[in-house]
Structure 1
Amino acid sequence: MLSSPLSVAALSSFRHGTEASAIKPLPFQNRRHRALFPSLLLRRRIFLPTASSSIWDALTGGGGAARDASLAVRRGMLLFRQGDVSGSLAEFDRAIELDPRQKAYIWQRGLSLYYLNRFEEGAEQFRLDVAKNPNDTEESIWCFLCEAQLYGVEDARRRFLEVGRDSRPVMREAYSMFKDGGDPKKLVEIFAKSRADEYFYASLYAGLYYESQNDMDAAKLQILAACQCPYGSRSDDYMAALAKVHCLCRDWSIS
């Protein structure tokens, strides 16, 4: 998934855990929330631009509104990582209010909409994103996931957003499974002895596929496996946080 051109480097680095001004743990955290997000008991920080304002304005398209929109996106990403899905959406929406150009690029907003059961808006977000980035496999899949909830799997598959070839073998296999139908068990088996990140993504998308089929027991098994694997439990990847958010929203205990 790609970020907007306003500050690709900054947003990408934040997605993978770049940090810089302390944010306290959220007051809504309960015992299960702390178990799912143990790192939140530590100081969390947010990346802020260190370049002069003129350079930053050039990177973001100019003006304070664009800069503030970029910061709102990063605040939204941090809140999502902390499990505050509603708060993350509020920040993403604020970013769009500040700089409407960003709407077509905030793929993170679509994820938040999915977990708030706002599937029509989520699908719209992912379709806007794919229109700008026609090679994004994950956004195509997430659009399908939203539309499967709206129209059912078969109709969602007829509406499937076709994108270019993903460089990652695991996402090529996942894309084919969602697009044409397939066996999630085979996806996991293929990557069971591969790199840690490939096993994580195979397990995550196998679980999401099961969820689109309303097989919640199988979905739970696979997404818990994604959370518990080394990559899912230790990585700062935004999608590793998403797997934990998924469990939080479904009231699944990881331990």
Structure 2
Amino acid sequence: MGFASTLYSHFNLPTSYSHFLPSKSKFGLKTPNALLSYASSPSKKMPYHKNVPPFSSSKRFLVLPSVSGIWNTIIGAGGSSQEALLAIRRGMLLFRQGDVPGSLVEFDRAIELDPRQKAYLWQRGLTLYYLDRFEEGAEQFRIDVAQNPNDTEESIWCFLCEAQLYGVDEARRRFLEASQCLLGTVGRDPRPVMRESYDMFKDGGDPEKLVSAFLLGKEHEFFYASLYAGLYYESQVYSCNPSLLKFM
């Protein structure tokens, strides 16, 4: 188990990306706008269920003060490492505000200050995806998968990057190849919605069935089913006709 997964399991924080995605961006996100925030209270824009408990579906709180304090202790953070963590915080905030290029500057600065951060910077992978820098995004997610193989989301985002580069069929071949390489080290994702989402990308399932399966489930399950169904459709449309993506 990689350091990130150990840290998150220690704090019992759910792993997810949605709190990091911006609610509004000049880049025109192709996924649902009303995404969960990593603020300390439920987002008023949450479209499906209103009374979402704080932090109910946001696991990856590397930037929480209590967590970052433990992080500093374990990695022996000196001045440069602490500055790197501050750069990551700034990058996440800028992304959420819609300044995607600015967020990349901060994430790259964090790596310059402390190269060890790159192995855990899934946030940088999302930024690269939304800047259409798919090759670099795929590389970032593969590095993260190697450190945290129990989390299926990095694998899915790597697929999404490679689908833009090579098409869905080649992306799926690479997806399966990577899964075979990690066989024996990849654990079972404890989240049913992510297991089903992972299988959909791996096997080419039906996004409508995924959403229907969690329609009456928990708030975050329905949200993530909808999110990954939308991302799946996006990868298919772009692969068939990249020019259609501007209409999404």
TM-score, with length taken from structure 1: 0.66
Q: CA deviation at 1:87?
A: 1.1
Structure 2 gaps, min length 5:
40-62, 180-185, 240-244
Equivalent position of 1:181 in the other structure: 204
Q: CA deviation at 1:204?
A: 0.3
Task: Classify 1:48/1:187 alpha carbon distance in 2 versus 1 (closer, same or farther; 3 Å).
Answer: closer
* Partner of residue 145 from structure 1, selected from 160, 168, 172: 160
* Partner of residue 117 from structure 2, selected from 99, 102, 116: 102
Equivalent position of 1:84 in the other structure: 99
- Larger fraction in helix: 1
Q: Which moved more, 1:156-165 or 1:135-144?
A: 156-165
Report 1:29-48 matches (<5 A).
none
Instruction: Give the distance between the partners of 1:6 and 1:62, measured in 2 at CA.
Output: 18
User: Would you say the 8 A contact 1:73–1:91 is kept in 2?
Assistant: yes
Q: CA deviation at 1:250?
A: 6.4
SS at match of 1:101: helix
* Partner of residue 210 from structure 1, selected from 209, 233, 236: 233
Q: CA deviation at 1:172?
A: 0.5
Alignment RMSD (CA, Å): 3.8
User: Would you say the 8 A contact 1:6–1:61 is kept in 2?
Assistant: no
Q: Confirm whether residue 67 of structure 1 aligns to residue 82 of structure 2.
A: yes
Equivalent position of 2:73 in the other structure: 58
Q: CA deviation at 1:144?
A: 0.2
Equivalent position of 2:108 in the other structure: 93
Task: Name the count of aligned residue pairs.
Answer: 197
Task: Classify 1:199/1:57 alpha carbon distance in 2 versus 1 (closer, same or farther; 3 Å).
Answer: closer
Task: Classify 1:70/1:4 alpha carbon distance in 2 versus 1 (closer, same or farther; 3 Å).
Answer: farther
Q: CA deviation at 1:80?
A: 1.3
TM-score, with length taken from structure 2: 0.67
Q: CA deviation at 1:6?
A: 11
Report 1:119-138 matches (<5 A).
119-138=134-153
Q: CA deviation at 1:154?
A: 0.6
User: Would you say the 8 A contact 1:6–1:70 is kept in 2?
Assistant: no
SS at match of 1:117: coil
Structure 1 gaps, min length 5:
18-27, 217-248
Task: Classify 1:82/1:199 alpha carbon distance in 2 versus 1 (closer, same or farther; 3 Å).
Answer: same
User: Would you say the 8 A contact 2:95–2:127 is kept in 1?
Assistant: yes
Equivalent position of 2:128 in the other structure: 113
Structure 1, residues 140-174: CA drift from partner, whole Å, max 9, x if none? 00000000001110111011032432101110100
Structure 1, residues 27-62: CA drift from partner, whole Å, max 9, x if none? x988x99xx68x99x9xxxx78589x9x88534423
User: Would you say the 8 A contact 1:192–1:199 is kept in 2?
Assistant: yes
Equivalent position of 1:195 in the other structure: 218
Task: Classify 1:100/1:63 alpha carbon distance in 2 versus 1 (closer, same or farther; 3 Å).
Answer: same
SS at match of 1:192: coil
User: Would you say the 8 A contact 1:135–1:164 is kept in 2?
Assistant: yes
% same residue: 64
Instruction: Give the distance between the partners of 2:95 and 2:247, measured in 1 at CA.
Output: 16
Instruction: Give the distance between the partners of 1:89 and 1:6, measured in 2 at CA.
Output: 26
SS at match of 1:135: coil
Instruction: Give the distance between the partners of 1:132 and 1:164, measured in 2 at CA.
Output: 12
Task: Classify 1:209/1:194 alpha carbon distance in 2 versus 1 (closer, same or farther; 3 Å).
Answer: same
Task: Classify 1:49/1:203 alpha carbon distance in 2 versus 1 (closer, same or farther; 3 Å).
Answer: closer
SS at match of 2:187: coil
